[in-house]
RNA sequence: GCGGGUGUAGCUCAGUGGUAGAGCAUCACGUUGCCAACGUGAUGGUCGUGGGUUCGAGUCCCAUCACCCGCUCCA
């Protein structure tokens, strides 16, 4: 079972050195995060895995690393300066928020009020200025020096289309990959690192023939689009994401960005907030390359709803030697978030497992308490039922309803605090799980914590810490990360830290493996605790140097997921680990 | 930005106006023959921040910041 909540992941990330809140000593800065020693390793692994897959393993791709700070002109002509901002109005009465450009009149569609705030514009791009002089906002001088932190890496790829094509002598179809930071002043960041204002992208612009030049037997833009969707989908699966939690979803026409003919999102089923986009594969047509080009024919400008570009000095076209024609290529864009990928892999890898069977002496008292909790819950359910029946008598408009009368439906239930239906469901589940103790210990722990029917019940409050304590004693947290993604690859322990011969060998193995993989030597606790620590950060292998090592030069190799142990010759360690970690 | 909630040690929390605490974690020493062992000791907090009330504020008031949950956002 993967993570039950983002909170679990956030805690683990902070506690074990993956991710810390940014600017923490000064109270933090919203939506900015610092990646710690383990986080930076994992980000690096994600990026390398992606780069290997889309650049090294293909024969039609090149790489690029463009500047983050980009001329304002780029974003004017890409359409971002005009489009990448949302004029918003708030309804003062019901507090709903609407896009001003989606309202047909000056009336709130939710409550009908006309008491709306004036539209306020949120440009999603961070801006700065090149040069030391600060000019007054909006003046020609200010606009001349204004630059934007790129909101997507894509545009620097478009700017370099001809450079890459010419210097690497590429023929269409080919693509350019880029990994780098992007910045968006999001109105609503949140869900930990899912949506942040500074994030990292992995983007490809794959240049293909425009439809009118595609010959029989060649792939159309739609076929290329499909192919990239499945390519990218498979990449996520190859790194351990379960297909039941990854889906492809084609965007509706209304959802499409200003540049796209079609977009399919890859969505992961996150805890707490459900399906969330982790990658978008867009068919951007020839929109961007045309937008940045001078000398585009009127017909094409009209088709793409573009203005004539008088600023650009280039035309981003391509001479196709086979077709003997010059054209502006179309573009398929697979675009994923690195930081979002990290959250995805962490959620997917997070597991809690019962590794120790609680004894009957520990479980039996729990059963007694569960029985009394069930009895109490049933009593509360009956009382609530009765209360509900009575409260139906006074009609809406009574004093109790007045205060909540204007609230949107579902915001506050002023009725009895117990919901008989929820309690009945809770009781049924608890009964069933009780029958499966001790195996169901974790499920009960979760049920007491999460189930709506369990809230506000006194015996449950008493029961919860006891179940939780026992669960903690019997559980291990393990990140079942794909070995490629694990921040630490191998941990090395001496079975007895006061035995110089054992310690020496442990340190020697550490030094021997260090140039090839991230290793961690640890002698600061008993062997069991050392294993658990590594499980929690997803280290695939642990090596223990023991007394037998002194006799036959073998060590214990312990595998994370199965906890199985085997003996391996020290001389074979490096080779074997390289193989099993996919490093060789 | 608006509404609701939260903020005390790395973590989980106790502390209702009178000398800042517990458990876990971390570190040191000893002990320990493979899955969160034990003993002894130690480190660690201007109680989110700033202001106010008070002889005295973790506690009461105001402001502010951050996080969480909602509000058409998309990597």
Whether the Cβ atoms of residue A427 and residue A374 lie closer than 8 Å to each other: yes
Whether the Cβ atoms of residue A232 and residue A206 lie closer than 8 Å to each other: no
pLDDT tens track for A377-422: 888 778 777 776 666 544 333 333 333 333 333 333 333 456 777 7
Whether the Cβ atoms of residue A199 and residue A337 lie closer than 8 Å to each other: yes
The reported pTM is 0.89
Residue by residue, DSSP assigns A69-109 as EEEHHHHHHTTHHHHSEEEEEEBTTT--EEEGGG-SSSS-T
Nearest-angstrom CA–CA distance, A396 and A348: 47
Residues 6+ apart with CB under 8 A from A70: A147, A148, A149, A150, A155, A156
**Among the listed residues A336, A328, A187, the one whose alpha carbon sits nearest the alpha carbon of residue A266:** A336
pLDDT of residue A191: 85
pLDDT of residue A396: 38
Give the CA A470 to C1' B24 distance in Å: 14
ipTM: 0.85
pLDDT of residue A85: 63
pLDDT tens track for A146-201: 899 999 999 999 999 999 999 999 999 999 999 999 998 877 788 889 988 899 99
Count of C-beta atoms within a 10 Å radius of residue A341? 26
Q: Which nucleotides of B are covered by protein (CB under 7 A)?
A: 1-3, 7, 10-12, 26-28, 30-38, 48-49, 65-75
Q: Which nucleotide is nearest to A465 (CA to C1')?
A: B12
pLDDT tens track for A354-385: 888 787 777 887 888 888 888 888 887 787 77
Nearest-angstrom CA–CA distance, A440 and A370: 13
Which of the 8 DSSP states describes residue A190? Answer: B
Count of C-beta atoms within a 10 Å radius of residue A218? 12
Q: Is the CB of A500 under 7 A from strand B?
A: no
Q: How many residues does chain A have?
A: 584
Nearest-angstrom CA–CA distance, A268 and A292: 34
Count of C-beta atoms within a 10 Å radius of residue A563? 14
Residue A114 vs residue A403, higher pLDDT: A114
Whether the Cβ atoms of residue A427 and residue A380 lie closer than 8 Å to each other: no
Whether the Cβ atoms of residue A123 and residue A85 lie closer than 8 Å to each other: yes
Alpha helices in A264-351 (DSSP H): 287-291, 298-303, 338-349
Query: Per the structure block, which two tokens stand in for A159?
Result: 């700017």
Question: Phi/psi class of residue A111: alpha, beta or left (left: φ > 0; alpha: ψ in -120 to 50)?
Answer: alpha
pLDDT of residue A391: 60
Averaged confidence pLDDT in chain A? 85
pLDDT tens track for A36-75: 899 999 999 999 999 999 999 999 999 999 999 999 999 9
Q: Is the CB of A539 under 7 A from strand B?
A: no
Q: What is the mean pLDDT of residues A453-457?
A: 67
Residue A84 vs residue A72, higher pLDDT: A72
Q: Is the CB of A317 under 7 A from strand B?
A: no
pLDDT tens track for A321-353: 999 999 999 999 999 999 999 999 999 999 988
Map tokens 């117990």 to a residue: A418
Residue A506, pLDDT above cutoff 50: yes
Give the CA A508 to C1' B39 distance in Å: 31
Nearest-angstrom CA–CA distance, A14 and A28: 14
pLDDT tens track for A192-211: 899 888 999 999 999 999 99
**Residue A282 φ/ψ, nearest 5 degrees:** -110, 145
Whether the Cβ atoms of residue A118 and residue A112 lie closer than 8 Å to each other: no
Whether the Cβ atoms of residue A558 and residue A567 lie closer than 8 Å to each other: no
**Among the listed residues A528, A527, A529, A541, the one whose alpha carbon sits nearest the alpha carbon of residue A581:** A541
Query: Is A47 strand, coil or helix?
Result: helix
**Among the listed residues A38, A42, A19, A53, the one whose alpha carbon sits nearest the alpha carbon of residue A482:** A42
Q: What is the mean pLDDT of residues A540-561?
A: 95
Q: Is the CB of A280 under 7 A from strand B?
A: yes
Whole-Å CA distances, A373 to A387, A424, A442, A455: 21, 12, 17, 12
Q: What is the largest CA-CA distance in chain A?
A: 86
Instruction: Kindly report which listed range (A26-35, A111-120, A399-408) carries the lowest average pLDDT score.
Output: A399-408
Q: Is the CB of A353 under 7 A from strand B?
A: no
The pLDDT > 90 percentage for chain A reads: 53
pLDDT tens track for A229-266: 999 999 999 999 999 999 999 998 878 877 789 999 99
Q: Is the CB of A265 under 7 A from strand B?
A: yes
Nearest-angstrom CA–CA distance, A543 and A531: 10
Check residues 179 to 198 of chain A and report those whose beta carbon is under 7 Å from nucleic acid strand B: 184, 186-192, 194-196
Q: What is the mean pLDDT of residues A119-138?
A: 76
Map tokens 């054992």 to a residue: A502
Q: Which nucleotide is nearest to A341 (CA to C1')?
A: B75
Residue by residue, DSSP assigns A456-503 as T-HHHHHHHHHHHHHHHHHEEEEE---TTT-S--EEEEES-TT-HHHH
pLDDT of residue A283: 96
Residue A4, pLDDT above cutoff 60: yes
pLDDT of residue A414: 34
Q: Is the CB of A320 under 7 A from strand B?
A: no
pLDDT of residue A416: 43
**Residue A473 φ/ψ, nearest 5 degrees:** -70, -25
Residue A444 vs residue A263, higher pLDDT: A263
**Among the listed residues A306, A300, A348, A349, the one whose alpha carbon sits nearest the alpha carbon of residue A326:** A300
């Amino acid at each position: 079972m993967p993570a039950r909540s983002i909170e679990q992941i956030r805690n683990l990330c902070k506690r074990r050195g993956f991710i810390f809140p940014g600017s923490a000593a000064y109270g933090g800065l919203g939506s900015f995060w610092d990646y710690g020693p383990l986080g930076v390793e994992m980000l690096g692994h994600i990026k390398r895995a992606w780069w290997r897959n889309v650049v090294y393993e293909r024969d039609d791709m090149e790489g690029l690393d463009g500047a983050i700070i980009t001329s304002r002109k780029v974003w004017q002509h890409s359409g971002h300066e005009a489009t990448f901002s949302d004029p918003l109005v708030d309804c003062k009465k019901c507090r709903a928020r609407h896009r001003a450009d989606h309202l047909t009149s000056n009336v709130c569609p939710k409550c009908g009020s006309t008491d709306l705030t004036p539209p306020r514009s949120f440009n999603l791009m961070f801006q700065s200025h090149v040069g030391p002089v600060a000019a007054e906002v909006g003046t020609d001088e200010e606009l001349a020096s204004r630059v934007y932190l790129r909101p997507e890496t894509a545009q620097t790829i478009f700017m370099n289309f001809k450079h890459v094509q010419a210097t690497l002598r590429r023929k269409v179809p080919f693509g350019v990959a880029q990994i780098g930071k992007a910045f968006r002043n999001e109105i609503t960041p949140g869900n930990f690192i899912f949506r942040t204002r500074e994030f990292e992208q992995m983007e490809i612009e794959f240049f293909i023939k425009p439809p009118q030049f595609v010959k029989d037997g060649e792939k159309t833009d739609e076929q290329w689009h499909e192919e990239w969707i499945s390519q990218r989908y498979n990449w996520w699966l190859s790194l351990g994401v379960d297909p039941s939690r990854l889906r492809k979803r084609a965007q509706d026409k209304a959802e499409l960005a200003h540049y796209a003919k079609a977009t399919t999102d890859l969505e992961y089923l996150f805890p707490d907030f459900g399906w969330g986009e982790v990658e978008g594969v867009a068919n951007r047509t020839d929109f961007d390359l045309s937008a940045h080009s001078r000398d585009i024919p009127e017909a094409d400008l009209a088709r793409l709803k573009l203005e004539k570009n008088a600023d650009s000095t280039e035309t981003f076209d391509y001479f196709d030697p086979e077709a003997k024609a010059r054209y502006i290529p179309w573009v398929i864009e697979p675009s994923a978030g690195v930081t979002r990928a990290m959250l995805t892999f962490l959620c997917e890898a997070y597991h809690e497992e019962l590794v120790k069977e609680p004894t009957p002496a520990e479980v039996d008292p729990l059963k007694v308490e569960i029985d009394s909790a069930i009895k109490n819950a049933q009593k509360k359910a009956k009382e609530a039922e009765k209360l509900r029946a009575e409260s139906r008598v006074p009609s809406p408009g009574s004093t109790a309803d007045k205060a909540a009368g204007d609230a949107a439906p579902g915001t506050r239930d002023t009725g009895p605090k117990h919901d008989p239906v929820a309690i009945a469901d809770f009781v049924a589940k608890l009964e069933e799980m009780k029958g499966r103790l001790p195996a169901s210990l974790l499920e009960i722990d979760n049920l007491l914590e999460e189930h709506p029917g369990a809230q506000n019940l006194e015996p449950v409050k008493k029961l919860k810490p006891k179940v939780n304590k026992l669960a903690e004693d019997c559980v291990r947290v393990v990140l079942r990360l794909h070995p490629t993604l694990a921040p630490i690859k191998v941990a090395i322990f001496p079975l007895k830290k006061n035995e110089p011969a054992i310690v020496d060998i442990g340190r020697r193995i550490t030094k021997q493996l260090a140039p090839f993989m991230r290793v961690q030597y640890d002698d600061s606790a008993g062997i069991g605790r050392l294993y658990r620590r590594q499980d929690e950060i997803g280290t695939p292998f642990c090596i223990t140097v023991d007394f037998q090592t002194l006799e036959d030069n073998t060590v214990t190799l312990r595998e994370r997921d199965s906890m199985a142990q085997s003996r391996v010759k020290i001389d074979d360690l490096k080779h074997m680990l390289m193989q099993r970690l996919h490093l060789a």
